[in-house]
Structure 1
Amino acid sequence: MKQHPNITVVGSNMVDLLSYLERFPERGETVFGRGFTQGFGGKGANQAIMAAILGAKVSMVTCVGDDVFGPKWIETFEQNGVDTSFVKIVPDNYSGVAAIWVEKTSDNRIVLGAGANEEVSPEMVDEAFDRLPKPDVIISQLEIPQSAILRGFQRAKEVGATTILNPGPAAPVQKEILDNTDWLIPNETEFALLAKEMAGIDASDLHQAVRQFGDRTRVNLVVTLGENGALLYMPGSGNDIIELLAPTVDAKDTTGAGDAFCGAFSYGIAAGLEPLKAIELANTLASDSVTRPGTQISYARNDHLEHLLEQVLNQPKR
């Protein structure tokens, strides 16, 4: 197992504004919140930090605004061991913002303002790949322009890196991106949209839809199911769909759990774990994260992380 693989994240960052509610308001209704926190999040940043916590050498390719949050973002990445050589501050723009409502049941609803994330470009990706260490894995999400994702995956293929796409927020993906994707990690809602919009597949029978989509695209699929774990389907492997259960926990806040899963899975693949073991690691860390509020701040660290890794890998992290 490779302890410190190189991972490049061509992705997003968001300032999380989390309101904790008894229940979501109805249309036109105002409700009091139970609490409020502000922190750093965004799918790309969350996944980068999860992989870095596990020991990967992570480089982030993203844009932040020239507002008060831009310099704070760079400081946050560096504090978590993420290389910021290609975190660009964009003049006259704001850093991405995520307004998050978390209900008492731990369910959430999120509204995004992309801001400077829209400025991540193919040219920026090219510059990063020309100067950064050769990656073992590259990860992207759909909170940045798809043209930048495509360029990153094309460059990854040139150097033999594994490409992983988390297609969230839910949206159709350019065919060229999918053609260069090794692993696709949607949640159940995101998968249903992709299956319908890109392949005309009805996902009411999830297992059948996963088989059809995987066989048609030839992309390895991991469909995350929240507290129910994940499905794995690798077309051409000779194996049918494999269901992997998640640990049972007392959930407090599910925000960022999917990113914990993707970051941990990406680390596992980059480190040389078999896909089943990488998913077990991802399920464990994602499930643990929902027992605490927040996104990045909910991810396991230090002795607690070591304990979880010993459970999954039967060895300490270092």
Structure 2
Amino acid sequence: MQNFSNTKIAVIGSTMMDLTVYADILPAAGETRFGESFTTGFGGKGANQAVMAARTGAKVTMITGIGNDGFGSESLVNFKNCGMDTTSVLQLPTHTGVAHIWVDGQGQNRISIVPGANFALTPQNAIDEVSKLKAVSVLIAQCEIPQEVTLAAFRTAQELGITTILNPAPYQPLTDDLLELTDWLIPNEIEFAELDKTHRAPDSDAVIASLRKTGRMIVTLGSDGAALVTADGSVKRFAAKKVTATDTTGAGDCFIGAFAAALASGASEESAVQFGIDCATKSVTRKGAQSSYPKIEEIDFSLIAK
């Protein structure tokens, strides 16, 4: 079976424990409703992206903070079970991050996060851990850790010749310094509108192409797939297979982890995008974030073109 066993990437970002309620109808303010079921699961945008990348067979180093609690211990075991390098998982004197997730009958979610150890990471932590990376070609980050930590990580990665991917989620204003150090910016539709100075939705190729003047960009479009801004500034759209969504939690992270692993393996950017969409489409047919991601035997490596 083809896989990315010779590919090495790193992720700096969040680790969370997801506490998820499923209900046909979510309660309004001041209202109480019965839910259908409740689960706990491993999450955090950074951890999700790292786990999906590891599912492809890539060798993944996770740079993250966990707490000195049960959730932290369980998260560390999960990383090891996924075959990831955990030497840069830092146990810090606080609680592990948690995400409270509500999923409605249409599979749409609402999420509230309490960062905990994710916000205890420091820029020096980032410099120290990224500096240790050997033969890593891609570094992924998000916005669930302090932005100055990501900035320090990307600055160090640039010095080492490592390609940087930023998923600006959850949205926050980004500094020009961070954007200049970002090789690939991958927002979803909501984040795109926040990044655009006039808050336009990515509903035309002209709008999508106008957002970024330097670096590369992909906009993920949910069930409509994704749009890639090509090297010449044009926009190429990629469709997603139509499926019935059970739970969209973590689908964007699934795309990014799979895309990054494919890109680092030497795949063409177009096939890496299609590969990411295929993995994410499989994930929305199952409940949870990491628990929904396709295993290596379910992944379609025939989509990859070098």
Greater helix proportion: 1
Q: Deviations over 1:278-297 (max 9, x none)?
A: 00000000000011101101
- Aligned residue for 1:78, secondary structure, equals helix
Q: How does 1:132-171 map to 2 (within 5 A)?
A: 132-171=133-172
Partner of 2:118: 117
1:303 and 1:137 map into 2 onto residues whose CA distance is: 24
Q: Tell me the CA shift for residue 213 of structure 1.
A: 1.2
Checking the alignment, whether the CA contact within 8 Å between 1:135 and 1:156 is kept in structure 2 is: no
1:70 and 1:117 map into 2 onto residues whose CA distance is: 11
Partner of 2:260: 266
Query: What amino acid sits opposite 2:273 in the alignment?
Result: I
Checking the alignment, whether the CA contact within 8 Å between 2:216 and 2:229 is kept in structure 1 is: yes
Partner of 2:206: 208
The two structures, once aligned, show a CA RMSD in angstroms of 1.7
Gaps of 5+ in 1: none
Query: What amino acid sits opposite 2:59 in the alignment?
Result: K
Checking the alignment, whether the CA contact within 8 Å between 2:267 and 2:305 is kept in structure 1 is: no
Q: Deviations over 1:68-87 (max 9, x none)?
A: 11111111100001111111
- Aligned residue for 1:167, secondary structure, equals coil
Note if 1:94 corresponds to 2:75: no
2:81 and 2:180 map into 1 onto residues whose CA distance is: 35
The 3 A distance-change label for structure 1 pair 109 and 2 is closer
Report percent identity of matched pairs.
42
- Aligned residue for 2:63, secondary structure, equals strand
1:129 and 1:239 map into 2 onto residues whose CA distance is: 31
The 3 A distance-change label for structure 1 pair 314 and 131 is closer
Partner of 2:304: 313
Q: Deviations over 1:63-113 (max 9, x none)?
A: 01111111111111000011111111111x110000000001010000000
Checking the alignment, whether the CA contact within 8 Å between 1:227 and 1:246 is kept in structure 2 is: yes
2:212 and 2:132 map into 1 onto residues whose CA distance is: 34
1:314 and 1:273 map into 2 onto residues whose CA distance is: 5
Partner of 1:131: 132
Checking the alignment, whether the CA contact within 8 Å between 2:6 and 2:58 is kept in structure 1 is: yes
- Aligned residue for 1:176, secondary structure, equals helix
Checking the alignment, whether the CA contact within 8 Å between 1:134 and 1:159 is kept in structure 2 is: no
Query: What amino acid sits opposite 1:313 in the alignment?
Result: I
Partner of 1:40: 42
2:121 and 2:209 map into 1 onto residues whose CA distance is: 33
- Aligned residue for 1:89, secondary structure, equals strand
2:4 and 2:76 map into 1 onto residues whose CA distance is: 27
Query: What amino acid sits opposite 2:221 in the alignment?
Result: L
Q: Tell me the CA shift for residue 205 of structure 1.
A: 4.7
Query: What amino acid sits opposite 2:160 in the alignment?
Result: V
Gaps of 5+ in 2: none
Q: Tell me the CA shift for residue 201 of structure 1.
A: 5.6
Question: TM-score scaled by structure 1?
Answer: 0.92
Partner of 1:30: 32
Query: What amino acid sits opposite 1:270 in the alignment?
Result: A
- Aligned residue for 2:164, secondary structure, equals strand
Partner of 1:222: 218
- Aligned residue for 2:9, secondary structure, equals strand
2:189 and 2:296 map into 1 onto residues whose CA distance is: 32
- Aligned residue for 1:85, secondary structure, equals coil
Number of corresponding residues: 304
Checking the alignment, whether the CA contact within 8 Å between 2:5 and 2:59 is kept in structure 1 is: no
The 3 A distance-change label for structure 1 pair 204 and 129 is closer
The 3 A distance-change label for structure 1 pair 284 and 113 is same
Question: TM-score scaled by structure 2?
Answer: 0.95
Partner of 2:184: 183
Q: Deviations over 1:5-32 (max 9, x none)?
A: 1111110011000100111211111111
Q: Deviations over 1:192-213 (max 9, x none)?
A: 00112xxx46337543322211
Checking the alignment, whether the CA contact within 8 Å between 1:214 and 1:233 is kept in structure 2 is: no
1:238 and 1:100 map into 2 onto residues whose CA distance is: 40
2:305 and 2:216 map into 1 onto residues whose CA distance is: 26
Q: Tell me the CA shift for residue 309 of structure 1.
A: 2.3
2:119 and 2:105 map into 1 onto residues whose CA distance is: 33
Q: Tell me the CA shift for residue 177 of structure 1.
A: 0.7
The 3 A distance-change label for structure 1 pair 272 and 279 is same
1:188 and 1:231 map into 2 onto residues whose CA distance is: 10
Q: Tell me the CA shift for residue 314 of structure 1.
A: 8.3
2:247 and 2:202 map into 1 onto residues whose CA distance is: 27
